[in-house]
């Protein structure tokens, strides 16, 4: 792990990159990284995030600045700008059931080719996918999902990069920290090694590539 400034970290992300962003309706989202992406105008992003948050909040800022060209998400109904951009064909949107979304990312981070899920069988979600029977029950083959970058927000990060999360801001963060080539983390609090007890580390330090230093 290397501690870097937010400017330095975002400079590593090229326009057109695939980026996973933690958070659920903007809760548990690395806001400082998103602000800097907007400032550096990293455009044409492939965004993988649970939702589109709301304008001005979380990944909503990326839609405000029209920086997203492809989106994989589970729900975008609370961001009218993301909806407009989808309906105007400015963004290609892939809507995925939330349990499938997180399992595809988990598979991507765990070396699996995908998962078999009953969710979506017999619905529009099944179109174009392989259906596989196991013990007489139908499942959809949902393939693994990875990205070039995961942008993760933690409550605590120690000097080595061990991470712990708070309440409902954990959500997709630890799963995404497994599923990208480069993992960049912001934390509410940067603390000495040992403050997070081994049993309370959720994301082990070797998974973290860059920790954003305090502003």
Partner 1 sequence: MDPQIIIARRVAKELKSGNLVNLGIGIPTLVANYVPPDLKVFFQSENGLIGTGPIPEQGLAHPTLTDAGGRPISALPGASTFDSAMSFGLIRGGHVDVTVLGGLQVDAQGHLANWMIPGKMVPGMGGAMDLVSGARRVIVAMQHAAKGKSKIVAKCTLPLTSARPVHLVVTDMAVIAFPDGRATLLETAPGISVGEVMAVTDAELVVPDNVPEMNI
Question: Based on CB atoms, which residue is closest to partner 1, 13 or 183?
Answer: 183
Asked if 53 interacts with partner 1 (CB under 8 A), we say yes
Distance CA 203, CA 42 (A): 27
Cβ atoms of 24 and 58 within 8 Å: the answer is no
Question: Based on CB atoms, which residue is closest to partner 1, 5 or 74?
Answer: 74
Asked if 162 interacts with partner 1 (CB under 8 A), we say no
Q: Which stretch binds partner 1 (CB under 8 A): 40-48, 62-70, 169-177, 189-197?
A: 169-177
Distance CA 22, CA 29 (A): 5
Distance CA 118, CA 42 (A): 37
Asked if 56 interacts with partner 1 (CB under 8 A), we say no
Q: Give residues with Cβ within 8 angstroms of 189, minimum separation 6.
A: 155, 156, 157
* Residue from the set 9, 45, 175, 179 that interacts with partner 1 by CB under 8 A: 175
Asked if 167 interacts with partner 1 (CB under 8 A), we say yes
* Residue from the set 95, 116, 191, 205 that interacts with partner 1 by CB under 8 A: 95
Distance CA 5, CA 49 (A): 23
Bridge partners, 2 (sequence order): 210
Q: Which stretch binds partner 1 (CB under 8 A): 1-9, 33-41, 70-78, 144-152?
A: 70-78
Distance CA 52, CA 48 (A): 10
Interface residues toward partner 1, by CB under 8 A: 24-28, 50-51, 53-54, 73-78, 83, 86-87, 95, 97-100, 102-103, 106, 117-125, 155, 165-175, 202
């Amino acid at each position: 792990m290397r501690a870097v400034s937010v400017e330095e970290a975002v400079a590593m992300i090229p326009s057109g990159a695939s980026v996973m962003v933690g958070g659920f309706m903007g809760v548990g989202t690395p806001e400082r990284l998103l602000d800097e992406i907007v400032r550096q105008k990293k455009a044409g992003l492939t965004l993988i995030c649970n939702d589109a948050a709301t304008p001005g909040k979380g990944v909503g800022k990326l839609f405000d600045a029209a920086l997203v060209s492809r989106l994989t998400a589970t729900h975008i109904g609370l961001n009218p700008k993301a909806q407009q951009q989808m309906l105007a064909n400015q963004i290609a949107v892939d809507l995925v059931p939330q349990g499938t979304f997180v399992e595809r990312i988990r598979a991507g981070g765990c070396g699996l080719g995908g998962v078999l899920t009953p969710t979506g069988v017999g619905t529009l979600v099944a179109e174009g996918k392989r259906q596989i029977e196991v013990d007489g029950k139908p499942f959809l083959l949902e393939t693994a999902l990875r990205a070039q970058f995961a942008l993760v927000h933690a409550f605590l990060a120690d000097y080595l990069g061990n991470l712990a999360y708070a309440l409902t801001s954990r959500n997709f963060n630890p799963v995404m920290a497994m599923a990208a080539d480069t993992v960049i983390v912001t934390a509410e609090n940067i603390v000495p090694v040992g403050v997070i007890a081994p049993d309370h580390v959720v994301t082990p330090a070797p998974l973290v590539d860059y920790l954003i230093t305090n502003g």
